[in-house]
Chains A and B, each alone.
Chain A
Amino acid sequence: MKKYLFILLFSFFILFFPKIVLADSDSSTLQLNIYPFSDSGYEYIFKWLNDTSNDYLDNLVSDYDYYSIWVSSSSSSNYKIYNVNIYASNVAYSIRNTYNTQNYSYFGPVGTDKFNQKYVLTFYKQNDYSDFYKNTTFTSENKITNIGLSDSLITSQQHSDSGVEFGSYIYFYRWSFASDLVKSWSMNIYMNNVVLKSNTTRNILVYNNDTLEEVVTINKGEIIQGYRELVLSKPSYLNGYKKVTLPVGKQYTAISGINKGIVYVPAESYAGYYPFLMYYQNGLEYQPYTNIITNNSLTSDSQYVMIPFDFSGMNNIDLVMFSKYDYLEGVDNVTYDIYVPNDSYISEVLVTPNNLGGNDFSFDYEDLNGNSHTESFSVYDEDFIKKNELFNAMFENFSKNFFGLNSIISRPLDLLVNITDSSCEDLVLVLPYVNTSITLPCMESIYTTYFGNFFTIYQFLVSGFISYWVLIEMVRIVKGFKDPSYDKIEVFKL
């Protein structure tokens, strides 16, 4: 029976999923897997842009370099994007996806917290600007990084227009290479085992700065491998530069007039520790730039840690602080390189806070108007942060491929990991041959509309039964702990 079921499913898959692009990766490459549904009229364009002069982008990413991968089709299409994995060094990313490239419609920024090194991926519909895909967050780190998007986060997109060039852009917004310390930076696009199964030859166009660099032609059944490396230069907007040297200890520098920029922190002085970045809003308390604190883990091969910051949109920013702690053995001074926009007004005052015990500090300072203030603040429990980072770091270097047997066996586990992120999305079923689709809406709103209180009662009863079952099982497990011979470890069965 199982054999026939497998054959049935396999045949279904072969019939309805006629083309595939597979990608493999190594530890220093970018991986993009694109999976198209339809069998007609595709070409894949990997288009890399580096142009901040366009108005339509200035509204969104005026302070960024951006790089995009453009996946398009020359006719109406349905396609799916899997597993955008980014491998690069010393970069911070945002990813955005839209389509209808004909008129360059861009539907808003990726997310609101792209400066916090947790980046939000948002996909937008063409017409109503609503989210096309669900949002997801991921973390960029200052080292070779794999930003993996869960398979379950990506759903199919489709449209029925024809005669218009459609595509998807995935943008990588990168903070800056304003430093002379970083001579160049590179990103590799690695396409491995790209297999085209349609009858028509397809091209992969590789662009850099809108200049077509190379056309990679794929014939049916051909397997290609290759990668492209981009060497990027610093963006022009961050030419302001300031070098701040602080003695080791609880020393802080307060720099006014900056609301965005980058701090370069020499990694060798900070291995295992966390630079702090704080800001002050006039009349309010200093506040730690939380995500920067918690997300900067260093590795022994890192040269610098880049800490992008942006307080745009915050009113009355009076002071920005960069600080560090006194955990550095054998280091007398640490020099920060701060890169800011050209028109930034910079003034600096060095302050030494008073340790109030524990993680509480206070310091005196003068604001821009010459008024004296005393502020106190608390910092995070570094031991906890360090332990958490070390704990997570154990698992960061593991990788897996997304093809072959592994793609089958790891799917249920992937699903298990991602199940908490699952929420209902309209289920779109693409019908083959007739080029149409069926959309199954989420049922909860329908239940609520048509069944009202009965649905509430149903939920109440179901929740009750499940809660009861959970309770019974919990008691059974806890009772098992008392049995010395009880050594059932169910996680090993996974």
Chain B
Amino acid sequence: MTTELFYNLVKLIMSFISTILTPIDNIILTFMPNVSIAFTRVGFLLDYISSGLGWVISLTGIPSETLSLIFLFYTFKLTAPFVMYCFKIGIRWYHYLKL
């Protein structure tokens, strides 16, 4: 559940980013297509670099269980405070309304 929450939070952020940037991207694509192509190529470059991530991890020799532990930790780190924050907000609202 927390992993799902984490995934979807990231997806939501990505969707917001896309919503904001898509009109700008379309304007650039229409009026400055070469610039748009250049941006896209940078994106592909990043993707190309990231395609070697698995190999780099294998180069470090870190076992997959440890990697899973790291990922789970970051999942916790990025989701648990958010849940706690929401919980605290709820309590604050409760106290405020109670007054």
Footprint of B on A, CB under 8 Å? 9-10, 12-14, 17, 20, 22, 35, 82, 151-152, 155-156, 193, 195, 197, 223, 391-392, 394-395, 398-417, 419-420, 422-427, 440, 442-444, 447, 455, 458-459, 462-463, 466-467, 470, 473-474, 477, 480-481, 484, 487-492, 494
Contacts of B52 in A (CB 8 A): 427
Residues of B1-55 contacting chain A, CB below 8 A = 4, 6-15, 17-18, 21-22, 24-26, 28-29, 33, 36-48, 50-55
- 27 example contacts (A-B, Cβ-Cβ < 8 A) are as follows A10-B45, A13-B44, A14-B41, A17-B48, A20-B37, A193-B33, A223-B33, A392-B8, A403-B25, A404-B25, A404-B29, A409-B17, A410-B14, A414-B14, A415-B50, A416-B10, A417-B7, A423-B64, A425-B55, A442-B55, A443-B61, A444-B58, A444-B61, A463-B66, A470-B70, A489-B81, A491-B9
Evaluate contact between B81 and A10: CB separation under 8 angstroms.
no
Evaluate contact between A473 and B40: CB separation under 8 angstroms.
no
- Which residue of chain A has the shortest Cβ distance to B5 in the bound complex? A391
Evaluate contact between A459 and B63: CB separation under 8 angstroms.
yes
Question: What's the Cα separation between A409 and B59 when bound, in Å?
Answer: 27
Contacts of B46 in A (CB 8 A): 408, 411-412
Residues of B47-94 contacting chain A, CB below 8 A = 47-48, 50-55, 57-66, 68-71, 73, 76-82, 84-85, 88
Contacts of B38 in A (CB 8 A): 10, 14
Evaluate contact between B66 and A480: CB separation under 8 angstroms.
no
Question: What's the Cα separation between A402 and B51 when bound, in Å?
Answer: 17
Evaluate contact between B11 and A395: CB separation under 8 angstroms.
yes
| Distance of A168 from chain B, by nearest CB (Å) | 17
Evaluate contact between B39 and A403: CB separation under 8 angstroms.
yes
Evaluate contact between A413 and B14: CB separation under 8 angstroms.
yes
Question: What's the Cα separation between A395 and B16 when bound, in Å?
Answer: 11
Footprint of A on B, CB under 8 Å? 4, 6-15, 17-18, 21-22, 24-26, 28-29, 33, 36-48, 50-55, 57-66, 68-71, 73, 76-82, 84-85, 88
Evaluate contact between B61 and A447: CB separation under 8 angstroms.
yes
| Distance of B23 from chain A, by nearest CB (Å) | 10
**Which of A412, A426, A467, A491 contacts B69 (CB under 8 A)?**
A467
**Which of A401, A415, A473 contacts B18 (CB under 8 A)?**
A401
**Which of A12, A156, A193, A480 contacts B45 (CB under 8 A)?**
A12
Contacts of B59 in A (CB 8 A): 443
| Distance of B47 from chain A, by nearest CB (Å) | 5
**Which of B13, B17, B69 contacts A470 (CB under 8 A)?**
B69
Evaluate contact between A474 and B76: CB separation under 8 angstroms.
yes
Question: What's the Cα separation between A20 and B45 when bound, in Å?
Answer: 12
Contacts of A398 in B (CB 8 A): 11-12, 14-15, 18
Question: What's the Cα separation between A152 and B55 when bound, in Å?
Answer: 12
Question: What's the Cα separation between A423 and B17 when bound, in Å?
Answer: 28
Contacts of A406 in B (CB 8 A): 17-18, 21-22, 25, 43
Knowing that A417-B10, A423-B64, A491-B81 touch, tell me 14 more A-B residue pairs with CB under 8 angstroms.
A9-B42, A13-B42, A22-B37, A152-B53, A400-B14, A400-B17, A407-B44, A410-B14, A419-B71, A423-B54, A424-B55, A443-B59, A462-B66, A473-B77
**Which of B15, B45, B62, B84 contacts A459 (CB under 8 A)?**
B62
Evaluate contact between B58 and A404: CB separation under 8 angstroms.
no
- Which residue of chain B has the shortest Cβ distance to A422 in the bound complex? B54
- Which residue of chain A has the shortest Cβ distance to B64 in the bound complex? A423
Evaluate contact between A410 and B45: CB separation under 8 angstroms.
no
Question: What's the Cα separation between A444 and B64 when bound, in Å?
Answer: 11
Question: What's the Cα separation between A7 and B36 when bound, in Å?
Answer: 16
Contacts of A473 in B (CB 8 A): 73, 77
Given A401-B22, A417-B10, A419-B53, do A491 and B79 touch, yes or no (CB 8 Å)?
yes
**Which of A13, A427, A480, A488 contacts B41 (CB under 8 A)?**
A13
Evaluate contact between B40 and A403: CB separation under 8 angstroms.
yes
Evaluate contact between B58 and A442: CB separation under 8 angstroms.
yes
Given A193-B29, A481-B84, do A404 and B55 touch, yes or no (CB 8 Å)?
no
Closest 6 CB pairs of A and B: A407-B43, A404-B25, A400-B18, A398-B15, A424-B58, A427-B55
Contacts of B70 in A (CB 8 A): 466, 470
Contacts of A492 in B (CB 8 A): 82
- Which residue of chain B has the shortest Cβ distance to A223 in the bound complex? B33
Given A422-B54, A462-B66, A491-B79, do A401 and B25 touch, yes or no (CB 8 Å)?
yes
- Which residue of chain A has the shortest Cβ distance to B55 in the bound complex? A427
Question: What's the Cα separation between A407 and B48 when bound, in Å?
Answer: 13
Evaluate contact between A399 and B54: CB separation under 8 angstroms.
no
Evaluate contact between B24 and A411: CB separation under 8 angstroms.
no
Question: What's the Cα separation between A35 and B55 when bound, in Å?
Answer: 22
Given A195-B33, A411-B43, A466-B70, do A395 and B21 touch, yes or no (CB 8 Å)?
no
| Distance of B76 from chain A, by nearest CB (Å) | 7
Evaluate contact between A477 and B77: CB separation under 8 angstroms.
yes
Question: What's the Cα separation between A400 and B8 when bound, in Å?
Answer: 14
